[in-house]
Structure 1
Amino acid sequence: MNDFLFWACVLGPVLLAEGLLARYEVLVYSAGFRAPTSELPEGVPYARGAAADRPPEAYLVYLDGIGKRRVRDTRDGGQLVKALLAAAPELRVLGQVQPYSPLADPLADRPVWAWLRRRVGLLLFLHNVMQIFVAADHRYRPLYNRAVGSQIATQLRLAGYEPDSGIPVVLLSYSGGAQVATGAVGELHTRLRCPLLLITLGGFHNGANDLTKAEHLHQLTSAHDRIERVGTWMFPQRRRLLRGSGWNRARRAGKITVHRLDPATHLGPRSYISPVAQLPGGRSHLDRTTDTVIALIRARHWAKAATDRPMS
């Protein structure tokens, strides 16, 4: 009991402070006091994969879960991005976007957080969790969506994307990255006028964002993913009863397709991106997820090519 009271006294004020500070960046952005950072650290390219001198089949932007703290890191050490690059050289892949910072300011590079990371590492995750709820809050959601959508559009243009080129942009999101991906749709369409394909992996989002400008959303999920189920239960906009939510309008329009990746879990050694957990055929969970993502992108490319082919 004493331990419980101790942690309650410690974490209570921390959570309150995080709840207040999480709104800081989006308010600073909306007031025009600071613009999102667009420069990357030395040696970090704006995109990897297909050469910049010829158009790729698609640009893929990877929006990681709450473990994202800096330009380089991801929850799996970059294994999913590396696997996608190795198996689909026709893609240009961006992994540097900071989905939990409207100002594109890497959390781990801030002096105060660098100090805290060495002492209270949990705070880094609490910060990003709070940012998800700010992005989902109806009071801040339009501002957050515009800020991060602008950040993604800027990074795409620096990576060589030309507006009105017709080259599709794929937003591949993990966990809470889905809240950012669904929110960025409107701003990306406005700035780049690009075809948008969304792929969520264990997506944790509130279902309120308008998906009208997205071509399609592929929901990669598993019956063993408890965190995604919590999100579905927590946010009423994900339930069929609220027919007017962005998620349910997209569902009725036939824009959402569910793909089962059982028995993958959200986290841990049996997660969607585990290189260790194996399926009956011998493939790892990482291999299956990589193959599924690439197959969905290529299927879109082939379907579009068939539609554009002139009738003989």
Structure 2
Amino acid sequence: MIQFALLLLLVGIGPVLLAEALLARYEVLAYAAGWRAPTTDLPTGMPYARGADPDRPPDAYLVYLDGIGKRRFHDTRDGGRLVKCLINGAPELRVLGQVQPYSPLAHPLADRPVWKWVRRHVGLLLFLHNVMQIFVAADRRYRPLYNRAVGTQIATQLRLAGYRRDSGIPVVMLSYSGGAQVATGAVDELWAQLRTPLWLITLGGFHNGANDISHARHLYRLTSTGDWIERVSTWIFPQRWRLFRRSGWNRADREGKITVHRLDPATHVGPDSYISPGARLSDGRSYLDQTADTVIALIRDCCSAKSGTDGPLP
């Protein structure tokens, strides 16, 4: 009986997964072919960045790339808690949370007419769509196109938020879960367009390790022994294995450009996740506070370590 039930489940989900895989590939191919142009408009009243006074250069720009729950311009996955904590704790930063990491065309999934119906009736498909986008971004056939598309989207949003090429102001990309695949892939395009001093912070990062991050100054990997989802990505993607010494991840590791910070005992998702406001540490802080405090401290270290050179640090 159990085997029969599993067979029915596979028969039902199989066509859905196939359809999602085709749709995910269509968007990146539509971008590459020029059939559709990425959008740059935001909802009425939504600024291109929040935080520091737009009339003065901030200490750094922070770009937040959310996990696979991201489907709107607004930070809806966690109610915007993490972004709000970062803005409140580091008012010297200009923070961008509107980037669509799972849409090469920068088109929020929840704003598409057909998906509004889907969201009400089959919410699981929203999750599957973004999962498939991660694997398209990791696929060697589509990865260069996807990286260029989302890297250009991030560069455009930074310009609209006031960033100027060769300004020397640091840019930090904070990515949650699958956002790490997009963040590592966007490095080359951001460097080509903005020549920005760039740092990466991955939070429970789920990525394949194939992207070249040599133009990033450093990558800080925030993880936890309780995060089995992040651990899975180190198993299923060969480029994360030490055997593949020439992968982008392993080259960066050998160069000393990757530092691990533990956020134990947080988990990837759920009531004890990195961004949980309810779960508490022994010092009384919430897991959300611990994550925000760690990110802010790392960003301030990045700003103080800024060398002012045009190329990546050795």
Asked if Structure 1 and Structure 2 have the same fold, meaning a TM-score greater than 0.5 normalized by the shorter chain, the answer is: yes
Aligned-partner SS, 2:159: helix
Counterparts of 1:270 and 1:43, CA distance in 2: 34
Look up the equivalent residue of 1:270 and give its one-letter code: D
1:211 to 2:208 alignment: no
Counterparts of 1:83 and 1:49, CA distance in 2: 11
Cα distance per residue 1:193-222 (max 9 Å; x no partner): 000000000000000000110000000000
Look up the equivalent residue of 1:225 and give its one-letter code: D
Look up the equivalent residue of 2:156 and give its one-letter code: T
| Aligned match for 1:191, one of 193, 198, 204 | 193
Counterparts of 2:5 and 2:118, CA distance in 1: 22
| TM-score, normalization by structure 1 | 0.96
Give the drift of 1:74. 3.4
Q: Residues 103-122 of structure 1 correspond to what in structure 2 (within 5 A)?
A: 103-122=105-124
| TM-score, normalization by structure 2 | 0.96
* Residue number in structure 1 paired with 2:290: 288
Q: Residues 1-312 of structure 1 correspond to what in structure 2 (within 5 A)?
A: 1=1, 3-304=5-306
Give the drift of 1:12. 1.3
Cα distance per residue 1:17-41 (max 9 Å; x no partner): 1111110010000001112100101
Check conservation: 2:31, 2:105, Cα contact below 8 A: yes
Aligned-partner SS, 1:229: helix
What count of residue pairs does the alignment treat as equivalent?
A: 307
Check conservation: 1:64, 1:74, Cα contact below 8 A: no
Check conservation: 2:137, 2:143, Cα contact below 8 A: yes
Give the drift of 1:13. 0.7
Q: Which runs of 5 or more structure 2 residues have no equivalent in the other structure?
A: 310-314
Counterparts of 1:184 and 1:61, CA distance in 2: 12
Give the drift of 1:232. 0.5
Moved >6 Å (runs of 4+): none
Counterparts of 1:265 and 1:99, CA distance in 2: 22
State the superposition RMSD in angstroms. Answer: 1.3
Check conservation: 2:168, 2:308, Cα contact below 8 A: no
Check conservation: 1:176, 1:205, Cα contact below 8 A: yes
1:306/1:58 CA distance change after superposition, 3 Å? closer
Look up the equivalent residue of 1:247 and give its one-letter code: W
Aligned-partner SS, 1:118: helix
Give the drift of 1:305. 7.3
Give the drift of 1:306. 11
Look up the equivalent residue of 1:130 and give its one-letter code: M
Counterparts of 2:228 and 2:220, CA distance in 1: 19
* Residue number in structure 2 paired with 1:310: none
Look up the equivalent residue of 2:140 and give its one-letter code: H
1:10/1:306 CA distance change after superposition, 3 Å? closer
Give the drift of 1:301. 1.7
Look up the equivalent residue of 1:73 and give its one-letter code: D
Aligned-partner SS, 2:201: strand
Aligned-partner SS, 1:270: coil
Cα distance per residue 1:82-139 (max 9 Å; x no partner): 0000010000000000000000000000011111111100000000000000000000
Aligned-partner SS, 1:304: coil
